[in-house]
Structure 1
Amino acid sequence: MRLVALFAGLMLSAVPAAAQNMQEPASTPPAGEQAPAAEQPRAASPAETAQLVQTEFAARDRNGDGSLNQAEFSAWVGELMARRPGQASPPSEAQLTAAFARADADRNQAVSQAEMTALFSRTR
């Protein structure tokens, strides 16, 4: 679940215009009722973030080359975003491409485990 929250932050910060379309509209409670307090998951610590990425990374690196290509990255992000509460539709190709570009810090067309960890650490 923490990875879902981290990816949600990633997607919301990577493509702000698209993020506005992804947010749920605010609802007003009936007169005399208070809105329930929103439960916000605790942000993962840097160590927890690194552990979460390490746990999943090898399984997501389908070709075993030690990094994620655009397709591997997009598949992982797409799965996480699809599990996001309130997510009406999967992320667009433009959102996935923008997220990949943001993650690929050295611009080598691949995302390493370190880059993925750094990306999640920035989006906490």
Structure 2
Amino acid sequence: MTQPAPQAPAQTAEAPAEGKPQVVAFVDQQFPQADADGDGSLSPTEFEPWIKALKTAELQSSGGTVDEAEVTTYASNAFATADADGNKLVSKDELTQFLQG
């Protein structure tokens, strides 16, 4: 079954990093869907398809061209960046921090 592409949270330039409730709400809604094994963290095999769908939706909504190779590279780099503690897993807190950055 194909899941609908995640929708990016609306962000405003004046919202402080700790005060982005839309990002927190987005992560609260999306994280359980991405966490296929329900272990409370995202492995690369869970994170990368999810972030690729998010990036593809973002590009399509802005009228940009979707280059699969670039989206794949973005997903791999995004995982490395989001995995702040380097344990090869992305926690809900790490994902929130990544999306707020």
When normalised by structure 1's length, the TM-score is 0.61
Q: CA RMSD in A?
A: 2.2
Highest CA radius of gyration, 1 or 2? 1
Matches within 5 A, 1:1-124: 3=8, 42-43=11-12, 45=15, 46-84=20-58, 85=60, 86-90=64-68, 91-122=70-101
Question: How many residues in Structure 1 have an aligned counterpart in Structure 2?
Answer: 86
Q: Point out where structure 1 has 5 or more consecutive residues left out of the alignment.
A: 7-40
2:84 partner SS: coil
**Runs of at least 4 residues of structure 1 off by over 6 A?**
none
**Higher relative contact order, structure no. (Cα contacts within 8 Å, ≥ 6 residues apart):** 1
Aligned-pair CA distance for 1:79: 0.7
Instruction: Mark the CA change 1:53 to 1:42 in structure 2 (over 3 Å): closer, same or farther.
Output: closer
Q: Which amino acid aligns with 1:97?
A: S
Once the two structures are aligned, what percentage of the paired residues are identical? 30
Q: Point out where structure 2 has 5 or more consecutive residues left out of the alignment.
A: 1-5
